[in-house]
Structures are given as structure tokens and as C-alpha cells.
Chain A
Amino acid sequence: MAYTEKELQKELETKEYEYGFYTDIESDTFPKGLSEEIVIAISKRKEEPQWMTDWRLEAYKIWKEMKEPEWANVTYEKPNFQDISYYSAPNSKPKYDSLDEVDPELLDTFKRLGISLDEQKKLAGVAVDIVVDSVSVATTFKKTLAEKGIIFCSISEAIREHGELVKKYLGTIVPRKDNFYAALNSAVFSDGSFCYIPKGVRCPMELSTYFRINQAGTGQFERTLLIADEESYVSYLEGCTAPSRDENQLHAAVVELIALDKSEIKYSTVQNWYPGNKEGKGGVFNFVTKRGLCENHAKISWTQVETGSAVTWKYPSCILKGDYSIGEFYSIAVTNNYQQADTGTKMIHLGKNTKSVIISKGISAGKSQNSYRGLVQISSRAENARNFSQCDSLLMGDQCGAHTFPYIEVKNKSALVEHEATTSKIGEDQIFYCNQRGINTEKAIALIVNGFSKEVLNKLPMEFAIEAQKLLEISLEGSVG
């Protein structure tokens, strides 16, 4: 029997979420709904100072006046914001000194994900700050970092312990009124990470955080703030997996990066949240605002591998404020079944001699829709600005969609802006060629997809690249019968 496009597609559709299990950890969950009282209660629960409570309340006021955006190329049933619980923390909450004290069931969950803490600890040079349902439960390698003066902790801790730094930078890159989800996040963010790299310090290890969503009906509102002081360097990894759920889960994170003069931030994400089942039921809504600011000679690189979520709405961006600053965006977005992704970047060139690179790889299968949306803006005073954009789409089957929405605004004649785009399909002849060399269809698809994504995978730190490759395979392989 011929191996047709249709069969290939069918195989891809049968791929079930591999990490579809739910960890039964007792949680302390707020009643559903959002009001000033809830905002105050969250702030209180987190033992925050008054300025923070006020900041949240102001955000709540702004949010109440805003409407959900509708311009993205996605359709979904809007969440009922009064039917969401805005705070959830694992019950056994004390800080742990060693892994032995961590809830064994939680450790088991991580083992099933193949990212056991034991391994993580042994993985030389990787400090892991795990965020499970909004509260950090384990922090490692903290001492080594402290010796260099690096602060790496939960944002809650940072608000209490490093209030001045947080106050100075929080909301400066993504203001509360920036967009609907950013305002919501500002009002109710439960936890997240904070990182400060002092002047001239090169962070000796990859900083990494694993996020998970684990409580039925709990929205996840992470807040990340990362500051690289002058002439410093940091590489930050963020990886996510989540248990299978029936109802939609809302995730609206905000990430702010500040790269001061001559500093460099590498921010890598592997995202694998539950994408819904093959009928398109359930799955995470991922509405994220990520943005970084570059001062003179500073550089920010965003690298993302997006394989999960039912709906993704995400545009990690760079404001190239300083002269000679550099922004980079490397992205792989995979959609299968009924997943929808509208993702891309914004490169805002304000300073002179600023440079940006955009490499976007979209892979669509099943009945999914995969959109790239990117803005390249060259302001009038950005002399000699340079941008190169490349958007490649790979299609599998004939029922998915790939879309590209490039926006280019140039107000300075000296700018050089390039945009390249390709669309291709995995061909039966490619599959047969691999089969003939002894490579089965599943492996062949993985090989072709990895080849297609190579330019971006190469940008990830080594151990993350391997994990990302696995994820690509998981997301696209079918159980070949």
C-alpha cells in the first residue's frame, strides 16, 4: 500500500501527549474569581511590601478597563476570568535544604519527565530553580552564584529582599498598560524568577527554571525579571511541560530583560505545555509578553522551541535603544492537531548602528495553524540599522496552514532590511529515500524536521538542544502501526 500524504497525516494525528499525567500534590488554592480583595490577598500571602500591593492594585484597575486583543490569527473560546483561581501553591511549603525533603511525588513527576533533580544536580554547571504551581520548591547552586554577587531567586523573594532593584525595573520594559494579559499578569502574578548579574560578571553556569502548571483550573501568571548590569553575561534557560488537562488553562506570563551597556543576555525557552487532545479539546492558552531592552553595545538573543499549548500568542521582542546594540530571535514553532500558534518578534531599532537577526522555523501538521508575525521597525534616528529576517515553513499533510505576517516600518534611509521566506513540504520521496536506507518513517520525519530546524537548534545550549530535539520528535511522531 502506498504511503500517502493522508496516511502520514493520520500518523501524526495519533500522537498523544506523552507527559499526560497529573501529580496529586495537596495545594492551597484561592477561590475562583478576580477582585481587588483577591489582588490584596495574593500580595498579603506573599508577604509583600505596601508599594507592591499598590502596584498590583493599579494594574488591576488598568486591566478592568481593557479588552482582550483579537488581532491574532487564532480562534478560541475566551476564558472566563471570573472562573479562574488566581493563586495556588503546593501545601508543604517550607524551603528545602536537600532533595530528600522534597515531596517524593513531585520528584517522581520530574523523573517521569526525564529531568530528575538528581540528574539536574549532577549536571555540572546548571542551577535549577523549579517553579511548580507558582512557588519555588527547590533552589540549587545558589551559593556559587552568591559568591559572584549574582542574585537568582524567586521574584517573591526578590520583592522582599531586593526591593530597590525590583522597584527600579519592574514594569519598565513591559508596562502594566502594555496589553490586556500584561496588565492581568501585573495584578495577579504569583511567582517567577528574578536574576541580577553585577557589573563585569560572567555568569559561570546556565541558569535554568522549569515551569509547570499543575493545579486544576489554576491560571499561571509567571513574572520574570532579569537584569544584566554593565559588561556582564548570562545565559538563561526556561523549560516547561505540563500534565494533561480537560479544561483550558490560561497562562499569561511576562518576562522583562534589561541589558545594560556592553552586557549580553541569552534567553532560551523550550515550551511543551499540553496542546489539547487530537480533537482539539483542552490544552493550555499561552499568552505571553516577553521583551528586552538593550543599552549601548548590549545584546539580547531569544531562542525558543515551542511545541505545546492549544493557543500560543507570543512575541519575544527587543528594544534596541542603545547604539551598536544587537537583537536576535531564533524560533522553532511546531503545531499539530488543532493547535494554533501566532508567534514572532518585534525588533525596534532606536539607536545608531543597531543590528537584528530573525530566524523563524514553523512546522505545521494535522489541522493546525502556524503563523509568524514579526515587526521590524527602524526609527528616524537609527542610522545604519541592519536587519535580516528569514521565515521558513514546513508543512505536513494538506489540512494545516502556515502564515507569515511581516511588518516592516523604515523611517531612516540608511537602513538595510532583508526578508527571506520559504515554504516546503515533507515529500513521500524523502521518506522513501530514508526508508530505503533502513530508517523508518517515524525516524525519517524526526530527521527531516531536525534538519529543517538545525539553524535554531544550534543556538541552544548543548543539553537543552538534546531535550529540544526529543521534544520535536515527540510532538511530531505518530505511533507507526
Chain B
Amino acid sequence: MLKITNLHAGIEAKEILKGINLEIKAGEVHAIMGPNGSGKSTLSAVIAGNENFEVTEGTISLEGEDLEECSPEERAHKGIFLSFQHPVEIPGVSVTNFIKTAINESRKAQGLEDMPAKEMLKEIREKSDLLEIDRKFLSRSLNEGFSGGEKKRNEIFQMAMLNPKLAILDETDSGLDIDALRIVANGVNKLKSEKNAVIVITHYQRLLDHIVPDFVHVLFNGKIVKSGTKELALELEQKGYDWIKKETTV
């Protein structure tokens, strides 16, 4: 589904990603771990098409289609979803209004009519129940005054509503207490299918106890230095990143 080949990218002449290779097939869950500053968030931003980062070399393709010329919204229309580490506030725009706009803009891009209100309502009901979201929450201004946990739950709610092919969860576990973590992970697991794929970016093993990855990659200094199965995450949890760093520098 997603294929990244020799990706180099950076910001203002500073190279952050230094040759990433990654292939993700439909139905798979990949975890990307690594110490602070290794380029995890940059990778997710570049996949989403954030134009603050410049791709200097390499390609990203989704279902065989090169994304280089695609704007962030076009990537979204093709089914890429990024759950932000720090979701922004949009005062005066309710969660409902925002998701309605997002869904209808995507439909418009596909030449479809707006989603009928009845169907929209049904979707919202289903997905908010799935994530144990209070209805009142849906009328609040997007992310304004939300707790860390509410923000993340809202991101996953949007993901559920948009039903993406590829979801990137950028440190979705940060700021979540144990209950919220379980709810969010349950939601992700229920949305998981043979047709979509998930990239989980995290520092910790605890999220991976709930969302079990097929593959774990360690990102260090802009490169994937080690890949393995879920056992690799456990090993990292025990040993920390130092041994990886040593291994890489040797």
C-alpha cells in the first residue's frame, strides 16, 4: 500500500530524514519507535505532505501512485490520515461541523454529493459510541479547552469517521491515561481491516500492548536502523535505545 524509497527530507537545508526505506502492505500494523529527535514526527509530516519540509531525494507512493505532486488535501482524499501529536484548536468550529466539512470535501473531490444528513448522523452516533464519546463533546469548539486525552480521542474519532486507507498515529498515547489508552486502542483495533494499514509512532511499549504491531522499526538519526517483529519493542523497553545507538555507530 505505502512504499517509501530512499527518502531524504529536511527543513531549511537541515537534513532530518536520511534515506528511509519502508514498505507497508494492506492489513498490516507497523510501529515506528526511536529516541527523541530521530525524525519520527518529520516522517509522518512528510507522508502527510506538510510543505514546511522539503523532500530532496526519494519517493513516497500510495498504491503505486507517486505522491510527490500531491497537496496535503489530495493525499487526504486518497486515504492518508494523520493523527496529530499536537492537534490545533479552531475556535467556534464545532467537532461536528469540522468533521462534516472534512467528509464532504473528500466526497466532493471524488465527485460525490454531500453525505445526507441522516447518514452523517448515523455515522457520528456509531463512531462516537465506539470511542465512548459524550454527545455534548461533539458540539464543543474543535480542541478548544480539550484535555490531552480528549484531543487524542477526537483525533481517533475523526479517523473513524474518515475511514482512511493508511492511518498514521503520531504519539497518540502521549497524554492518555490508562482508561483512555484502552478506549483509543480498542477503537483503532475495531477499525482495523484487511484493507487498511496503520503506522503507530510511539516511544513506549504500552500502546503496543493494545495495538499489536506486525512489524517494529527503530528510527535513529534519520534512518531505520533496525526492523523486527513485536519482540523488538519489548527488547527496546528493557534495554533502552543505547544499545541501538552503539550498534549503529560501531
Contacts and interface: CB of A to CB of B under 8 A. Distances in A.
B87 A447 contact: no
Interface stretch (A91-99, A100-108, A246-254, A432-440): A432-440
Contacts of B52: 2, 428, 432
Contact of B73 (A427, A440, A450, A452): A440
Given A437-B102, A439-B105, A450 B51 contact: no
Interface string A362-403: 000000000000000000000000000000000000000000
A231 interface: no
Contact of B82 (A428, A436, A443, A447): A436
A453 interface: yes
Contacts of A427: 88
A449 to B, nearest CB: 9
Nearest to B84: A433
A438 B158 contact: no
A456 B87 CA distance: 26
| Main secondary structure on A side of the interface with B | helix
Contacts, number: 79
Given A438-B73, A438-B76, A451 B105 contact: no
Contacts of A450: 92-93
A146 interface: no
Given A432-B72, A433-B84, A450-B93, A443 B51 contact: no
A454 interface: yes
A430 interface: yes
A455 B92 contact: yes
Contacts of B71: 435, 440
B236 interface: no
A3 interface: yes
A3 B72 CA distance: 11
A451 B76 contact: no
Contacts of A124: none
A36 to B, nearest CB: 53
A448 interface: yes
Given A437-B102, A453-B92, A1 B51 contact: yes
Interface in A1-32: 1-3
Interface size on B, as a range, is 20 to 34
A453 B106 CA distance: 25
A119 interface: no
Given A2-B51, A436-B82, A437-B102, A447 B90 contact: yes
Contacts of A147: none
Contacts of A279: none
B178 interface: no
B1 interface: no
A1 B68 CA distance: 11
A420 interface: no
B240 interface: no
Contacts of B162: 437-438
Given A2-B52, A3-B51, A438-B73, A443 B101 contact: yes
A272 to B, nearest CB: 22
Contacts of B146: none
Contact of B102 (A3, A429, A430, A438): A438
Interface string A266-309: 00000000000000000000000000000000000000000000
Given A439-B105, A440-B105, A451-B141, A430 B76 contact: no
A432 B93 contact: no
Contacts of A433: 84, 87-88, 90
B77 interface: yes
B50 interface: yes
B199 to A, nearest CB: 14
B91 A452 contact: yes
A456 to B, nearest CB: 10
Contacts of B75: 436
Contacts of A437: 76, 98, 102, 105, 158, 162
B109 interface: yes
A447 B72 contact: no
Contacts of A447: 90, 93, 97-98, 101
B88 A429 contact: yes
B181 interface: no
A435 B93 contact: no
A201 to B, nearest CB: 36
Nearest to B91: A451
Contacts of B72: 432, 435-436
A452 B141 CA distance: 10
B79 to A, nearest CB: 10
Contacts of A439: 73, 101-102, 105
Contacts of A434: 90, 102
Closest 5 CB pairs of A and B: A451-B92, A435-B72, A451-B93, A438-B76, A437-B102
Interface of A: 1-3, 427-430, 432-441, 443, 447-448, 450-455
28 contacts: A1-B51, A2-B51, A2-B52, A3-B51, A427-B88, A432-B51, A432-B52, A433-B84, A433-B90, A434-B102, A435-B49, A435-B72, A436-B49, A437-B102, A438-B76, A438-B77, A438-B106, A439-B102, A439-B105, A440-B73, A443-B105, A447-B98, A448-B90, A448-B93, A451-B90, A451-B93, A451-B141, A455-B92
